[in-house]
Structure 1
């Protein structure tokens, strides 16, 4: 029958094809039996980058703020009165001990010196005459040619003339000093300020006039005050001997722009007691400054080094925190993520020092932390 009806369609006659119900059911059963099953396939474990912590020697610096100060500073003042005749230096330059700085008109003091020398010559002549007179009267007295009173009078005149000589000598010395003060020389080597008084002005009248200042530039000091907590940290980290006798310790200086001064300094003074009012200990650190890079008044931080021989260091971004504390995620031997709670130490160039809670052989997750959580399996990879 089916062939007969299929042939009718092919011959072009409009014959309705009737498909039996049992044939359609068999076709559906056959189609359903051949389709694949819809089963769940688990995704692969997430990939994370792991690395062991850095272990080795690291240096931690404890900063203490302070201000630079010249080791020595001198105010140049006029010690005699007179008109300023010349300024013999370049303002802001470095002067050496003995360099001529100022000249005050010397004519008045030269004349005073010559007058004092004349008075001394007169006093010497009077003393010589008195000496001769006394010697002659001694001879006359032995021959009873003069009385004892005349001898005593001549002796008194001799002593008076000798006193006049001493007074005249002191006047010559004073006049010589005043003349010397008309030329003012540098008492130390250092950088000089600008002149405070210009040529032609009267100086030293009534009080010593400030003419300039000189500050010693090499070495340059910085005074610091270490608070009690930092001092106790030193006692713990540096050791008892070093903390109680820190004189001679080598330190660095960080300037206000964040750069570190190229030369190392040395602690050359430590106060013998803690200031009870401020709770601080005063120290002075000396830095070589041959090229004058440091100037008085700069603010900076003195960096006290502390070296850890076998420190364990991890990147700072690996450390997370929850209600329990700080922790890092590690991958164990079965590639399962675990939590390691740690104690954070100081921050260094290599990262963060871990003082407790992490071993040097752990595999710390350093990248892909957002894809990891404790208890899941991951695919660890080495850093590229």
Structure 2
């Protein structure tokens, strides 16, 4: 009984295998009989390519100065609008100048007194010298007059230094901006006593133009940058700094121009990155410290390369490829080495020739090794290609 059922099952299995083989043969025959399908082909276009890399970072103003008073006194007046732009030398605060003016007047009077003493002691010394020649004055009297004159001459230097110090303090009573930039809110109001060289600032000023953009380079990008800079220096470029394009978080285009002017002297062992800085012009003061942004820097020299639509590129277990239609209208797979992507176009570094007919539409209708009906077209590739964000 068991053997009978087994023989029936084996019979059905053999019949199924025969049917499957017949079906496969039928499909193969149908495939061989399928007519050639129309596909769109085009020659790759040559363009000058400049490769770039993109990073994120933040703007930072430099320098930033905390304004404090160099003298102690009562704050009399402030002469700026909070948050406005100030220029170097603009008056910011006035401390009550009356005590300092009184000190200047007192020191000036002391200088006059000292000068009068000098004149008197000088005249006495001259008389003593004349009398000494005739023997009508003792040596002790002469020495006393000489000492009095020398003391008066020395005291004028001290009085003059005191006057200069008093004038300096009076000058410090007017606080001016040491740099140009944007000023913060006032932290001490009028009428308060301010202390000389206090650690609590009256206000702060941050520079506006230029402003700096800080970001981190990965190790591979850092090496590429260093090699590009070395090539420029070897070529005699006196300014090897690389150009940079920067955009804000709400901007699609990178419309702000800058140059890389600093790289940290070592790679961070924990993150494997190098801090870099770009200097950006900011004449209108629009860019503000702390803003987030994107920066793109070019790596290497421009080179000529072929460009095809990115949709023409396929991927298999063997790598990236395009389908090329030969003069015999047979579609063949062509392995290629890809470059960067620029919008809807892809750079082909190797694997294609300018005369190749690349299949750009109808990949599903083309069988590798099969015949197709090529319909040539011309690619509309912009002269200037804008790279995609990394």
SS at match of 1:376: coil
User: Hey, what's the Cα distance between the residues in 2 that align with 1:125 and 1:97?
Assistant: 42
> CA deviation digits over 1:1-27, x for unaligned, max 9?
xxxxxxxxxxxxxxxxxxxxxxxxxxx
> CA deviation digits over 1:275-296, x for unaligned, max 9?
4747655554322221112222
Matched, 1:354 2:354: no
User: Hey, what's the Cα distance between the residues in 1 that align with 2:102 and 2:193?
Assistant: 19
SS at match of 2:202: strand
TM-score (norm 2): 0.79
Q: 2:283 aligns with which of 287, 290, 306?
A: 290
Matched, 1:255 2:248: yes
Q: How do 1:86-97 residues align onto structure 2 when only pairs under 5 Å count?
A: 86-97=77-88
User: Hey, what's the Cα distance between the residues in 1 that align with 2:201 and 2:252?
Assistant: 37
Q: 1:242 aligns with which of 232, 245, 262?
A: 232
Q: 1:335 maps to what in 2?
A: 329
Conserved? CA contact 2:45–2:307, under 8 Å: yes
Residues 193/276 of structure 1: CA separation in 2 closer, same or farther (3 Å cut): closer
SS at match of 1:210: coil
- Length, aligned pairs only: 343
Q: 2:40 maps to what in 1?
A: 49
SS at match of 1:129: helix
Matched, 1:165 2:153: no
Q: 1:122 aligns with which of 90, 99, 113?
A: 113
Unpaired stretches in structure 1, ≥5 consecutive residues: 1-39
Q: 1:370 maps to what in 2?
A: 364
Residues 181/259 of structure 1: CA separation in 2 closer, same or farther (3 Å cut): farther
> CA deviation digits over 1:306-343, x for unaligned, max 9?
55432112222222212111112222222222111111
Structure 1 vs Structure 2 CA RMSD: 2.7
Q: 1:174 maps to what in 2?
A: 165
Conserved? CA contact 1:79–1:208, under 8 Å: no
Conserved? CA contact 1:193–1:213, under 8 Å: yes
Residues 140/66 of structure 1: CA separation in 2 closer, same or farther (3 Å cut): farther
Q: How do 1:7-86 residues align onto structure 2 when only pairs under 5 Å count?
A: 42-86=33-77
Q: 1:311 maps to what in 2?
A: 305
| Rg larger in structure | 1
TM-score (norm 1): 0.80
Unpaired stretches in structure 2, ≥5 consecutive residues: 1-29, 379-390
Conserved? CA contact 2:247–2:256, under 8 Å: no
Matched, 1:345 2:339: yes
User: Hey, what's the Cα distance between the residues in 2 that align with 1:336 and 1:167?
Assistant: 104
Residues 208/175 of structure 1: CA separation in 2 closer, same or farther (3 Å cut): farther
User: Hey, what's the Cα distance between the residues in 1 that align with 2:330 and 2:164?
Assistant: 96
